A and B are shown apart, each in its own frame.
Chain A
Amino acid sequence: MKCEQILLWVSDYVDGELPHEKCVELEKHLTLCPRCRSIVNTLKTTIALYQKVELYKLPTSIHQSLHQMLRHEWEIHETKVDVKSLKFPPMELIEKKKEFLLLIELPGLKKEDLTLTAKPRSIEISGFNKQIDGIYYIKEIKHGWFLRAIELPASIDISKADAQLKNGLLQIRFPKSMEDLRG
């Protein structure tokens, strides 16, 4: 057996992946050839040396900037997702004789988490439903930034609008404008 052949097999041999009959042939050669024996031995040591090199510790500053960057990306991503799915949070718009009543389910939210913009024929409500940190086993409640914009079937009197957030339900009363009442 030629030494060149040994070199072709040596990597599979040290990995234990050389077929049995080739192994026997190679090992027989190694007993006779000190040069090839030294190549096999030093190849094994080369691999072992590289495996022993210690891990580079991830510097805290790099760890922090990575996580900050990802959190920022996630916030941008959240914004995009929830603007698209406009069925959250669930709401009802009811027309009464003198007013419109808008009910919005907002469990867990406080007044300061919300922004309400009213125009004579439309209302826009946005806010942020903060997610609690932790790993979720069940996750059915939507979190993140949301925006809902609705068109009203008649004009309202913005100056007399009244909003109350009670037990996770936002109730907004918009009196109809005088013109609409007359009409």
Chain B
Amino acid sequence: MKELSDKVLVKQAKENNFKAFEELVNRYETKVYNLAYKILGSQEDAKDILQDTFLSAFKSIDKFKEKSNFSTWIYRIATNACLMKFRKKEPKMVSLDDRLFATGKEAIDWSKNPLTLLEEEELKKVMNQAIKSLPPSHRAVFVLRDIEKLSNLQTAKALGISVSAVKSRLHRARLCLREKLSGYFKGEYHEM
């Protein structure tokens, strides 16, 4: 059978066809789970967000005006849920240190180190800690834009912010992560 587009499934789901809604869930559950896992850093939280996201989508699908794709809409629900969870858990927001963006005395170019380095558990740990050290709003932008590979516009829609805000947060998030990884490659790694 020809695979139906998201748009057709959304139409059917609005007409109360549960099977069509379930198909949309099948298409996006792993993506939403990964998004939440990467933003929140815990499986338990990712599971909660997954359930909250699709429950909320189910309850409000007839109000979905389809000005954006279903994927953008579902990402928006999921990221909002993640950010809400943060507010409950970590009411104190950390802000990025602007000194990170000073050029400093950077000299080592570790970019030639092969990506097979990812095999190293320690690097994964450093990458995880680095992403967790970002403020949630920046982390969400980085995950959507660079990991999930959404466009600037899709990310902006998903987060309900402007494209220029996406670009500015992405820029800061990337530089911050680069700085942390540089520390690791320069042998300055310590528990962050």
- B is bound to A: yes
Do the beta carbons of B177 and A50 come within 8 Å of each other? Answer: yes
Q: Which residues of chain A come closer than 8 Å to B33, judged between CB atoms?
A: 56, 58, 62
Contact B170 A42, beta carbon cutoff 8 Å: no
Known A43-B174, A73-B55; contact A35-B107, beta-carbon cutoff 8 A: yes
Q: Interface on chain A toward B: helix, strand, loop, or mixed SS?
A: helix
Are A135 and B124 closer than 8 Å at their CB atoms? Answer: no
Contact: B30 with A58, CB < 8 Å? yes
A-B pair number, CB within 8 angstroms: 142
Report if B118 contacts A (CB, 8 A): yes
Tier of interface size on chain B? 35 or more
Asked whether A39 lies within 8 Å of B103 as measured between CB atoms, the reply is: yes
Q: Which DSSP category, helix, strand, loop or mixed, fits chain B's interface?
A: helix
How many of chain A's residues touch chain B, expressed as a range? 35 or more
- B93-110, CB under 8 A of A: which get 1 and which 0? 000000001110111111
Q: Does A117 contact B (CB under 8 A)?
A: no
Q: Is B182 an interface residue (CB 8 A)?
A: yes
A-B contact pairs, 20 of them (CB 8 A): A10-B171, A11-B171, A11-B174, A35-B103, A39-B103, A41-B109, A46-B181, A50-B131, A50-B177, A53-B127, A55-B30, A56-B37, A58-B33, A66-B29, A69-B55, A70-B54, A74-B21, A77-B16, A131-B18, A135-B1
Residues of A within 8 A of B (CB): 3-4, 7-8, 10-12, 34-39, 41-53, 55-58, 62-63, 65-67, 69-71, 73-74, 77-78, 81, 131, 133-136, 139, 144
- Known pairs A50-B127, A58-B33; list 14 more (Cβ under 8 Å): A11-B174, A38-B109, A42-B182, A43-B178, A48-B115, A50-B177, A56-B37, A62-B33, A66-B54, A67-B22, A73-B59, A81-B16, A131-B19, A134-B19
